[in-house]
């Protein structure tokens, strides 16, 4: 079991620090909505992870990976969503993030931030393939229920701690002041990254 724990820790950390759609959407929403926006987006990502884990544990992940139609539906839906969010970010106007503005955003957009994080994660076919690999090579049918639960808990805990650190670092006064000096440029960079990632997902092979 120690070997499984070390492998799970290693691959989870590697996946978390690798730039991807989840990281970009959390960065964007932290910049737009402050700490609340980033943390709620992160919760959406974690909820998406649990969905991936659940269907991979019961075997549906294997069916998705083997079905060209199911995989392509997931792939193109994810690509379209990323491109849509990217276009919205690219076209966003400058917005002064005063305390009043952030309070209004937190009140009106909390559900949207969570949903963006959730959809962004659940529609990413790379998530399916990652967890399918975990449940094929690390957590096998021979793994006991108790060990499986522990390994899943470790994956989710590492992910949650990473997002807490990531969002709090992004929302620090030094980073925020730097970003707010060039809001238009930052919005367009995030928008361009999301569009680029959407195109990459659309052309991704299994």
Instruction: Record the pTM.
Output: 0.76
Q: Which of 32-36, 68-72, 121-125, 143-147 has the lowest mean pLDDT?
A: 68-72
Decide which of 191 and 109 is more confident: 191
Q: Where are the alpha helices (DSSP H) in the chain?
A: 2-17, 21-57, 60-66, 68-90, 99-122, 125-137, 145-170, 173-180, 183-202
Per the structure block, which two tokens stand in for 100?
């009043």
**Separation of alpha carbons 48 and 4, rounded Å:** 23
Instruction: Please provide the average confidence, as pLDDT, over all residues in the chain.
Output: 80
- How would residue 99 be classed by pLDDT, with cut points 50, 70 and 90? very low
Longest dimension (CA), the chain: 55
Mean pLDDT of 33-54: 92
Predicted confidence at residue 93, as pLDDT, reads: 55
Q: What local confidence, expressed as pLDDT, does residue 97 receive?
A: 44
Separation between Cα atoms, residue 190 and residue 61, nearest integer Å: 30
pLDDT tens column, 120-148: 999 888 788 788 888 777 887 778 888 88
Q: What is the mean pLDDT of residues 29-36?
A: 87
Q: CA-to-CA distance for 185 and 137, rounded, in angstroms?
A: 43
Is the pLDDT score of 4 beyond 50? yes
- 31 Cβ contact partners less than 8 Å away, ≥ 6 residues apart: 170, 176, 179, 186, 190
Which is nearest to 201 in space by CA: 26, 42, 27, 82? 82
Instruction: Give the separation between CA 129 and CA 192, rounded to whole angstroms.
Output: 25
Q: Kindly tell me if the per-residue pLDDT of 186 is higher than 70.
A: no
Q: State the pLDDT confidence band at 110, using cuts at 50, 70 and 90.
A: low
């Amino acid at each position: 079991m120690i070997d499984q724990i070390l492998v799970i820790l290693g691959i989870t950390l590697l996946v978390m620090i690798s730039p991807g759609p989840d990281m970009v959407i959390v960065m964007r929403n932290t910049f737009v909505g402050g700490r609340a926006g980033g943390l709620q987006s992160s919760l959406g990502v974690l909820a998406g992870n649990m969905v991936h884990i659940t269907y991979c544990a019961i075997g549906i992940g294997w069916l998705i990976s083997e079905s060209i139609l199911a995989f392509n539906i997931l792939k193109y839906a994810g690509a379209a969503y990323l491109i849509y969010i990217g276009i919205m970010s690219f076209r966003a106007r400058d917005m002064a993030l005063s305390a009043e503005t952030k309070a209004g955003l937190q009140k009106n957009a909390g559900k949207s931030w969570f949903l963006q994080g959730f959809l962004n994660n659940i529609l990413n076919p790379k998530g399916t393939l990652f967890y399918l690999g975990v449940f094929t090579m690390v957590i096998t049918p021979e793994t006991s229920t108790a060990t499986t639960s522990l390994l899943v808990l470790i994956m989710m805990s590492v992910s949650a701690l990473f997002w807490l650190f990531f969002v709090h670092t992004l929302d620090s006064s030094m980073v925020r002041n730097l970003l707010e000096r060039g809001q238009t440029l930052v919005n367009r960079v995030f928008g361009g990254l999301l569009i680029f990632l959407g195109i990459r997902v659309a052309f991704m092979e299994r």
